[in-house]
Chains A and B, each alone.
Chain A
Amino acid sequence: MVVFTVRRALRAVLTIWIAVTVTFFLLRLLPGDPTLLVVEGDMTPEMQQALRVQYGLDKPMLTQYWLYLTELVQGNLGTSFRQLQPVTDIIVARLPWTLMLAGSAFVLTILLGIPLGVYAAAHRGRRLDRIVQMFGITGHALFVPSIAILLLVVAGSWMGWFPIGGAIDPDTRGLAAYLSLFHHLALPLFSLVIVQLGPYALTLRTNMLEVLGEDYIKSARGRGLSSRRTLWKHALRNAILPALTLMGLQLGTLVGGAVLTETVFAYPGVGRLIFEAVGQLDYPLLQGAFIMLAITVVVANLITDVVSMLLNPRIRT
């Protein structure tokens, strides 16, 4: 069990390292060397050179890479071209919002998806099952900005049910602050959950159907255990594992969706930061934001893996 966790953790570190390496070289090997942008327009060659030295751009690429890695390990992602602040500080200020948005979406999807999937599988062919199937397939076709704009305009503007933009009313305290937080979170959250929920419920339904055909379900019923018990205890526990793994893999997609959602709802997370950084051509910030998101996703994935492992004795023992 420990071995499993350690192996997964090593793998997570490897993933992050590869992500860092790929982006580092990608950004430097693509045409339109972004590091040149740090040098402002009308400067003398001497000043340019001085700046290049200051940013370490004069060194061989591998040295730069090594420097970047050593700095990264110390939590330093460089300095933003535009905001002239440490990238880490900028991102850390935004990351909690994204974590909360994507994290709640993840949890909510699972919490809603489980009953939907189980119920649909248990009542195969009935109306709810058909809805889940339809919703599951449609989920793949939903374009996050479309949903987000729809929610923004209808629920946010026409109906005025939800606040628009921002993440919290800054003047609230205590319980009111939490309420405000969820009030602001609702629309971005739902636009993510709507997209994720259908496919997740459908996956769970498929897994449930597969599991319900297994001998151990028949055997449980053969022992006289009620269908409810076999469904929620014996079948679900087995069906949820592959679904959880899939959700883990989908985390990257979820975060991608968060980028779009945050952009539409002006939610102050890393996603909107990325959108702004694209507008600013702020490469260190973009790179840093991607790396932080990658780390987040990989860590979340690790957690999902460990939870799966706790639920699955075949891996654990």
Chain B
Amino acid sequence: MAERDVVLEVDSLVRHFPVKGGLLGRGRSAVQAVDGVSFTLGRGETLGIVGESGCGKSTLARTVVGLDSPTSGSVRYRGTDVHRASGRELRQMRRSVQIVLQDPYTSLNPRKTLRDLLMQPFEIHRDVLPRERRIARIKELVELVGLDPDHLDRYPFQFSGGQRQRIGIARALALEPEVVVCDEPVSALDVSVQAQVVNLLRRLQRELGLSYLFIAHDLSVVRHISDRVAVMYLGKVVELGERAQVYDRPRHPYTRALLEAVPIPDPVGRDERVRVLLAGDPPSPVDPPSGCRFRTRCPKAEDLCAVTEPALAVEATPQTEAACHFPDHTPLARLGA
């Protein structure tokens, strides 16, 4: 691969939420939602981020687009620190990094028509497009995402879930961003509709050269859309690499367990499938285990894991990096596949 054109750089990002408690309501402890995450995103590339609930992937998404501010670390869009930017830089950044939210049923103001919703970006950024050209642009956008331009005066509730997610995508694209963060964009949709939206996102990426940060808990969808995949566990990235590597030769025991847990929609040979089931639920991010955070559920954990935290060496190279003292190197066995 030629020199990567890095558009987004996340460096040692930390986001802790103070926990209410104590006599005066002052927090002594904190939810360590995101705890030292680093990665880069190249132009036209999709980085998939997977993990279970509470692993911090949504906080990461919100922090990247500026909906949340980091406790430490930085997010840089083409060299500009997203959270330190102000004035012109900030506006530019806002335009260039957009988000598609999870739930299309609640992420659109029910009181606004499709026209209002799509007009909103231009009202906030008045300098992007002169007033008289906005309607034409809105119609373009509507067609781009496969909606009917005659429906501009409809309210969100008059659209189906899939259509609403298309509206959300159109809105994110209105300001011609370079990076789109997709925060679980299909998980609220019906199974039969998910594929439409995934296909749309892929088409738009091809046509517009977008970079995606694609966040999901559904490993199948992530595999389908991503170039590279990061696996998060309790606020940390435990494995990061090219998707084929991650999916077929997972190194981290967590990645492995995660992949083995996913049911395969094919009954043939199901009784012969081997899977190592993890015990219990992920621990609370308020008080994560010492050393390696996964050690409490890890089948391979040893004393070392409780003491030393394994580091993840992140390099922009197409290989897998796993934060584990005892990484695996065998391919994932998938009988019946």
Asked whether the complex places CB atoms of A and B closer than 8 A, the reply is yes
A7 within 8 A of B: yes
A residues in contact with B23, CB < 8 Å: 3, 6-7
B residues in contact with A6, CB < 8 Å: 23
A residues in contact with B24, CB < 8 Å: 7
Chain A minimum-CB-distance residue to B21: A3
Q: CA of A7 to CA of B22 in the docked complex: distance in angstroms?
A: 9
Number of residues of chain A lying within 8 A (CB) of chain B: 3
Q: Mark A84-108, 1 if CB is under 8 A from B, else 0.
A: 0000000000000000000000000
B25 within 8 A of A: yes
Minimum distance in angstroms from A304 CB to a CB of chain B: 20
Q: CA of A3 to CA of B22 in the docked complex: distance in angstroms?
A: 7
Q: CA of A7 to CA of B23 in the docked complex: distance in angstroms?
A: 6
B residues in contact with A7, CB < 8 Å: 23-25
Q: CA of A3 to CA of B21 in the docked complex: distance in angstroms?
A: 9
Minimum distance in angstroms from A8 CB to a CB of chain B: 11
Q: Mark A1-38, 1 if CB is under 8 A from B, else 0.
A: 00100110000000000000000000000000000000
Q: Mark B9-49, 1 if CB is under 8 A from A, else 0.
A: 00000000000011111000000000000000000000000
Q: A237-280: which have CB < 8 Å to B?
A: none
Minimum distance in angstroms from A276 CB to a CB of chain B: 42
Q: CA of A7 to CA of B24 in the docked complex: distance in angstroms?
A: 7
A residues in contact with B21, CB < 8 Å: 3
Q: Mark B117-137, 1 if CB is under 8 A from A, else 0.
A: 000000000000000000000
Q: CA of A3 to CA of B25 in the docked complex: distance in angstroms?
A: 10
Chain B minimum-CB-distance residue to A4: B23
Q: CA of A93 to CA of B22 in the docked complex: distance in angstroms?
A: 40
Chain B minimum-CB-distance residue to A6: B23
Q: CA of A314 to CA of B78 in the docked complex: distance in angstroms?
A: 46
Q: CA of A6 to CA of B25 in the docked complex: distance in angstroms?
A: 12
B residues in contact with A3, CB < 8 Å: 21-23
Chain A minimum-CB-distance residue to B24: A7
Q: CA of A6 to CA of B21 in the docked complex: distance in angstroms?
A: 13
Q: CA of A3 to CA of B24 in the docked complex: distance in angstroms?
A: 9
Q: CA of A6 to CA of B23 in the docked complex: distance in angstroms?
A: 8
A residues in contact with B25, CB < 8 Å: 7
Minimum distance in angstroms from A4 CB to a CB of chain B: 10
Chain A minimum-CB-distance residue to B22: A3
Chain A minimum-CB-distance residue to B25: A7
Chain A minimum-CB-distance residue to B23: A3
Q: CA of A3 to CA of B23 in the docked complex: distance in angstroms?
A: 6
Minimum distance in angstroms from B78 CB to a CB of chain A: 46
Minimum distance in angstroms from A28 CB to a CB of chain B: 32
Chain B minimum-CB-distance residue to A3: B23
Q: CA of A3 to CA of B28 in the docked complex: distance in angstroms?
A: 14
Chain B minimum-CB-distance residue to A7: B23
Q: CA of A139 to CA of B22 in the docked complex: distance in angstroms?
A: 41
Q: CA of A6 to CA of B24 in the docked complex: distance in angstroms?
A: 10
Minimum distance in angstroms from B29 CB to a CB of chain A: 14
Minimum distance in angstroms from B279 CB to a CB of chain A: 25
Q: B114-168: which have CB < 8 Å to A?
A: none
Q: CA of A6 to CA of B22 in the docked complex: distance in angstroms?
A: 11
Minimum distance in angstroms from B314 CB to a CB of chain A: 41
Q: Mark B252-279, 1 if CB is under 8 A from A, else 0.
A: 0000000000000000000000000000
Minimum distance in angstroms from B10 CB to a CB of chain A: 36
Minimum distance in angstroms from B230 CB to a CB of chain A: 35
Q: A43-59: which have CB < 8 Å to B?
A: none
Minimum distance in angstroms from B309 CB to a CB of chain A: 31
Q: CA of A231 to CA of B4 in the docked complex: distance in angstroms?
A: 64
Minimum distance in angstroms from A106 CB to a CB of chain B: 29
Q: CA of A91 to CA of B262 in the docked complex: distance in angstroms?
A: 72
Q: Which 7 A-B pairs have the closest CB atoms?
A: A3-B23, A6-B23, A7-B23, A7-B25, A3-B22, A7-B24, A3-B21
Could you list which residues of chain A lie within 8 angstroms of chain B, going by C-beta atoms?
A: 3, 6-7
7 A-B residue pairs with CB within 8 Å: A3-B21, A3-B22, A3-B23, A6-B23, A7-B23, A7-B24, A7-B25
